[in-house]
Amino acid sequence: MKLGIIGAMETEVSALKEAMEVDKVVTKAGMDFYEGTLHGKQAVVVQCGIGKVNAAMCVQILADLFEITHVLNTGVAGSLNADLNIGDILVSEKAIQHDVNVTIFGYQVGTVPGFESREFTADAVMADAVADACKRANPDVNIVKGCVVSGDQFISDAKVKDYLISEFHGDCAEMEGASIAQAAVLNKIPFVVVRAISDKADGSAQMDYPTFENQAAEHCAKMVSEFVKSF
């Protein structure tokens, strides 16, 4: 097993890099890939930058240059589910790209032509192990399994939020998870997305996000560390 761990921002991966025994750092496409062992497991930790293109490129590099067997995306997200409050954790069962629209040619919104479904299914074994690790690491934190919706947009409008809920039944919104999912599926690599809630993806998001981003990101990275120990 060799686990690729991707975070979009420095705060999402810094704790993991610190916990790692680094063998080497490889820079490719402007991204620094930290290869080594994390809690005795082979791992590559990388900050991919924000958005779907960065995230998908990162998966391809992890597949080609590092031959990872599994990929995990950690970070923060806006909540689309009334049961998910700031600080809570969402573990992916599936991921959808909400900004893909080829409906004019009969595709369901979110479906990338060439794929049977708009939903990319996360690896159930990884998702269960992540959820168990989160419960062990912090029994007081609310953990929900559900649907991650991703697009190249920060969601901070209640109307857009309502659309993401009614159209996709999304539980959280962020900007990388579903493109990591698509790239992982194309490479036949099992994936999971785990996100701590930093905001409610509505009119309060602009205020809440900077306040809770660091706290939520570090919190999520600790859960990921716990997962790696047991996986």
Which residues are annotated as catalytic?
12, 199
Residues in contact with ligand ADE, counted by CB under 6 A, come to a total of 14
Stretch that binds ligand ADE, among 23-31, 122-130, 138-146, 199-207 (CB under 6 A): 199-207
Q: Which of 194, 48, 84, 78 is nearest to 133 (CA)?
A: 194
89 binds ligand ADE (CB under 6 A): no
CB of 138: closest distance to ligand ADE in angstroms? 20
Taking the alpha carbons at both ends of the chain, their separation in whole angstroms is 9
Q: SS3 sequence, the chain?
A: CCEEEEECCHHHHHHHHHHEEEEEEEEECCEEEEEEEECCEEEEEEECCCCHHHHHHHHHHHHHHHCCCEEEEEEEEEECCCCCCCCCEEEEEEEEECCCCCHHHCCCCCCCCCCCCCCEECCHHHHHHHHHHHHHHCCCCCEEEEEEEECCCCCCCHHHHHHHHHHHCCCEEECCHHHHHHHHHHCCCCEEEEEEEEECCCCCHHHHHHHHHHHHHHHHHHHHHHHHHHC
> 């923060």: which residue's tokens?
76
Stretch that binds ligand ADE, among 37-45, 57-65, 86-94, 168-176 (CB under 6 A): 168-176
Stretch that binds ligand ADE, among 21-29, 84-92, 196-204, 220-228 (CB under 6 A): 196-204
Using CB under 6 A, which of 34, 66, 120, 209 touches ligand ADE?
209
Residues 63-82 touching ligand ADE, rule: CB under 6 A, are: 76-78
**Nearer Cβ to ligand ADE, position 70 or 219?**
219
Using CB under 6 A, which of 46, 155, 189, 192 touches ligand ADE?
155
CB of 53: closest distance to ligand ADE in angstroms? 15
Using CB under 6 A, which of 46, 198, 217, 231 touches ligand ADE?
198
Stretch that binds ligand ADE, among 110-118, 131-139, 179-187, 194-202 (CB under 6 A): 194-202
Interface with ligand ADE by CB under 6 A: which residues? 76-78, 154-156, 173-175, 198-199, 201, 205, 209
